Amino acid sequence: MTTHSSPGQGAPQEGHDWAFRPRVPDAQPQPYGDQRRQAETDSPREGRPAAGQAHRADSGPRFDATMPLRVSEPRSAAHEAVRGPGGRTAPYTRPGGEPADRERRHRSAEAAVLGRESPRSSEPVTAQPATGGRGKRPGKTRQAGRIALVLAVLAAAGGSAAVLLKREQAAAVASKNLRQVWQIPAPAHDDTLIGSWLTDKLLVVAGTRGGLRAYDIADGSRLWSTVSSATAAKRGTVPCAMSPTLSAEGVGTVAFGKDGSTCTWLAGVKASTGRILWSMPLTSTRHPSTVTASTYVQDDVATIVSENFLGGVNTRTGGRVWGYKPRGRYCNAYGWGTDGTVLVDDYCLDKKTRFTLTAYDAKTGKVIWRKAESAHSDVTHILSGSPLVAAVHTARQDAVRVFDAHGDGRKLAVGNEELTSGNTTEADHSARLYGTVLATSATAVGGTAVDGFDTTTGAKLWTRPSTALAVPPPGEDKTVYAVTTSGSPQLITIDRRTGRTTPVAGLPTGSGTWSFTAGTVYVTPDGGVLELSALGSNGGVRRYR
């Protein structure tokens, strides 16, 4: 994002010389390696542009962006936590949404693409027996704990304790059990899950030590993966951001860097083959510092949100679709994104309204709404893009709000819990809307849970302790899937309105104790389960069927 001179520092920079070139063509196509099972042939429109097109792209208009001003602002009070009804105390966040415990690394980066990988055979993958339970308590103690917690919830909600108590005592068990059919070990003990995609045939996983790789969900064999090369190593081959979803044509975006926290370039990737369709730098000579980034795909537009860049590109070509335009000449801005929506909190010294919070359409860049503020706001989580549901921390209050088309918000009845977009990692994108009900992970003093909220009223409809949300099969938009994380693990469904649970299938003993609460769980169309651990120390990928 461009640094504009502030009053007292000289005239502002007139030229918008920091922007992302729509695409960075290569002399030759650079696919990922080993496409032994390439499912389809890319069409010509997915190929790289011709040299003439690349020249026009490089000389065309560039994106606008902003960086924090070098002048002091009346912003210190904006970060003081003041607990309000239905709120929570948010952790301190550096300007730009960067966690306080994440160090910035300043490196120069140059354009490159991943090299080819020599053909390789599939990894030997065999079904492995499930390990023993970790930290499992005697059955009576578990049941008593669940009953006590259920009674407490019902007392707070004014429901009928006797009915739910009888249901809990019944301890419904699924009529079928799933078994582990294959397992892929973590590439390293310190591997961290960055993101994942699931199609009807393959699972694509991005990790800090394993790179970007794809597996056949039928047998766990590896289909393609990234490789290290001298050219790619100069700017980094470690995934640091990944779009939660793919476009209708099966294209997603992945950012890479020297580590999992800072990004130097972005690529459009064909999920079925691993082919890089286009790439673009996330640094420049004026802004060489690598920073955190996030990326999202909506239809044929991918958005990129970071301190260096805010805008949208075409998922097929990498060509510019829109770029952020600051309100004034002396502004700084902090952005956050999700599928379909980008939130920007800004401070403009040369405008009568100094502080604003603005929602942008992530596909077009158009303003959805803009609200004047008295100080900065920090957005700690965005739980949904449509309707926009976000946890916002201001000088006066912490609250999770559902925003309407005019920017007016209705608070969710969160209480003393903390809602998160996933379980314990940003790679978990299981929090989602089911009609008008938001199902999301929650953390409280008693541990983790899954909560359901009515987004039209803000009321909490139900809470299910000791469960982890699962990504439902394609087309399942009414039933909430989850996995129990205490006792004998089970795949269950949760009625979105009542919170009533129904067992679907039992899982091997020992699964779900740690991994399910720190990663992503997919329910496959055939009724199976894919478990991805967020940390290498908790395992890799397991398939149950």
Check pLDDT > 70 for residue 95: no
Same domain, 271 and 364: no
Q: b vs e for 283-322, b when ≥16 Cβ sit within 10 Å of the residue's Cβ? A: bbeebeebbbbbbbbbebbbbbbbbbbbbbbbbbbbbbbb
Q: Higher model confidence: residue 343 or residue 33? A: 343
Above pLDDT 70, what percent of the chain? 65
Which residues are CB-contacts of 161 (< 8 A; sequence separation ≥ 6)?
Answer: 150, 151, 154, 155
- Does 184 reside within a domain? yes
Q: Each residue of 243-274: pLDDT tens digit? A: 999 999 999 999 999 999 899 999 999 999 99
Same domain, 409 and 339: yes
- Does 224 reside within a domain? yes
Name the E strands within 374-416.
378-385, 388-393, 398-403, 409-411
pLDDT at residue 298 in the model: 94
- Does 240 reside within a domain? yes
- Does 154 reside within a domain? no
Helix, strand, coil fractions of the chain, as percent rounded to 5: 10, 40, 50
Q: Label residue 225 by pLDDT band (50, 70, 90).
A: very high
Q: Higher model confidence: residue 440 or residue 108? A: 440
Closest CA to 268 of 256, 278, 282, 260: 278
Closest CA to 355 of 385, 334, 376: 376
How far is Cα 167 from Cα 254, in angstroms, rounded to an integer? 45
Bridge partner list, 432: 439
Same domain, 544 and 429: yes
**Least confident window among 98-112, 310-324, 386-400, 409-423:** 98-112
Q: Higher model confidence: residue 225 or residue 477? A: 225
- Does 157 reside within a domain? no
Q: What is the pTM of this model?
A: 0.72
Same domain, 535 and 513: yes
Bridge partner list, 5: none
pLDDT at residue 146 in the model: 38
Q: Choose one of 402, 421, 440: the last residue of a domain.
A: 421
Closest CA to 122 of 38, 201, 221, 198: 221
Check pLDDT > 50 for residue 500: yes
Q: Each residue of 427-441: pLDDT tens digit? A: 888 889 999 999 999
- Tell me the average pLDDT across 143-167: 40
- Tell me the average pLDDT across 399-421: 92
Name the E strands within 209-275.
211-216, 222-225, 238-242, 251-257, 265-270
How far is Cα 211 from Cα 228, in angstroms, rounded to an integer? 9
pLDDT at residue 198 in the model: 94
Q: Choose one of 388, 421, 454: the last residue of a domain.
A: 421
Q: Choose one of 289, 322, 355: the last residue of a domain.
A: 322
- Tell me the average pLDDT across 86-90: 39
How far is Cα 478 from Cα 455, in angstroms, rounded to an integer? 15
pLDDT at residue 53 in the model: 40
- Tell me the average pLDDT across 115-131: 39
- Tell me the average pLDDT across 36-53: 39
Same domain, 486 and 541: yes
- Tell me the average pLDDT across 519-537: 91
Same domain, 389 and 431: no
Closest CA to 167 of 140, 189, 188, 146: 146
Q: Higher model confidence: residue 137 or residue 170? A: 170
- Tell me the average pLDDT across 234-242: 90
Q: Provide the residue range defining the domain that includes 244.
A: 1-60+202-322
Q: Each residue of 173-193: pLDDT tens digit? A: 888 999 999 999 999 999 999
Helix (H, G, I), strand (E, B) or coil at 388: strand
Which residue matches tokens 């800090």? 208
